[in-house]
Amino acid sequence: MASRGDEPLARAMDRARRPPSVDTLARSIKDVGLPHPLLVEAARAAIGAGDPGSARDRALRTASELLRPVVNATGVMLHTNLGRAPIGVQQEAGYTNLELDLSTGRRGSRHNHAATLLAAACGAEAALVVNNGAAAVMLVLAALAAGRAVAVSRGELVEIGGGFRIPDVLAGSGAELVEVGTTNRTRVSDYRAVLSGELGDELALILKVHQSNYKVVGFTESVPVSVLARLGPPVVFDIGSGLLDAGTPWLSEGPPAWLQGEPAARQALEQGAALVTFSGDKLLGGPQAGVIAGQSDLVAQCAAHPLSRALRPGRLVLGALQETALAYLRRDGDAIPFWRMATASLADLRRRAEALGAGEVVECRSVPGGGSIPGLEIPSIGVALRGDVTEHLRRAPVPVIARVSGHRTIIDLRTVSPADDGLVALAIEAATESTAP
């Protein structure tokens, strides 16, 4: 009799000791809002680790790894970890006339909209858009110099972030690197020596690479494009940042002082570069893309190379880049978020900092970032909070990314869109409440 009555109790006790089923656990954390298979994965990992209670945190961690908007309060305008240049483009993802000529009804080219506009904006005969700056350099070398030689100054054999090294890119494209001059000084006579040497006839290009992310100071010398252009082979100038015109006609106040020395596409072409290559998401202020601009025959050769098909961007990127290019052609720098933040006045930033009503209003320094213009700082205004509250700020509904300086957390308002000031205020309030003694 006793044994019959004890049986369900024993089973119930056994159940309590056993971990919950993966499926039950996954259902119990449904409110995290992830698709069921991802919740199951979190539940399985939690049970596997002998800690079913951790399932929710594991699922939340997965959710936090999804792409989402954040507020950049770091003061680094082109922050690679935050997607470089912000773009203010909203677009439908429906059908477009990507490769359809609407006037004839025949097949068109995806190089006809954004690329043509960018060419117009920098005074190039033609342009081609690929996925990023690295792809642009790679395609130019593969299309114009495979099996031949390319002369590069030893001072320009650079590594750009993410393992993009000019010597490796050259090797990968099938071109042979001919090193010219020395690390700190390269003269025109060094190039002439190469041209009259045994590889002179093999030389397909002279490649000039902007030392975007570092500076050589002191006893240095390099050869300007205008001089290289007179040597014979076409000069390709990888300017990197995508400054379209040194005169910045899209800014009513003219070029900011900090742009001094940054190579620009229009001027490089005027000085005789056959092609320039640059990124879409650095100083250009557009989406991630790479642009090849210059002589139409050379651009056509790049477009005809099989790699061009592999490196072509999609319509979302081309749509965003078209918007950016149109803003340049309208000379409307205010429509380009990067230029809007780069030229925001200290008075405006101070007014916004004061309106936040939290922390201490402080002077700080923004930087261009994205490997552009190293060592350059732009005066800015922000608010300082006591201690390191960066983690709390990152946990806000829209994460706010700030930096720590001394024993304070600095929120630099130059890189924050004014439309996001309310989000910053909320995040500060939550962060300071949770750290209040």
Note the residues at the interface with ligand PLP (CB under 6 A): 132-134, 137, 160, 164, 209-210, 212, 238, 240-241, 279, 290, 371
How far, CA to CA in Å, does 352 sit from each of 91, 128, 281, 417? 29, 40, 26, 11
Which of residues 137 and 424 has its CB atom nearest to ligand PLP in the complex?
A: 137
Query: Minimum distance from CB of 212 to ligand PLP (Å)?
Result: 3
The nearer residue to ligand PLP, 266 or 392, going by C-beta atoms, is: 266
**Least distance between ligand PLP and beta carbon 318 (Å):** 16
Nearer to ligand PLP, 25 or 169 (CB): 169
What's the min distance (Å) between Cβ of 130 and ligand PLP? 9
What minimum distance in Å lies between the beta carbon of 137 and ligand PLP? 6
Please report how close the Cβ of residue 269 comes to ligand PLP at its closest, in angstroms: 16
Q: How far is the CB of 208 from ligand PLP (least distance, A)?
A: 10
Closest to ligand PLP by CB, 150 vs 383, is 150
Structure tokens at 252: 């009513």
Residue with Cβ nearer ligand PLP (207 or 356): 207
Give the residue with the Cβ less far from ligand PLP, 34 or 130.
130
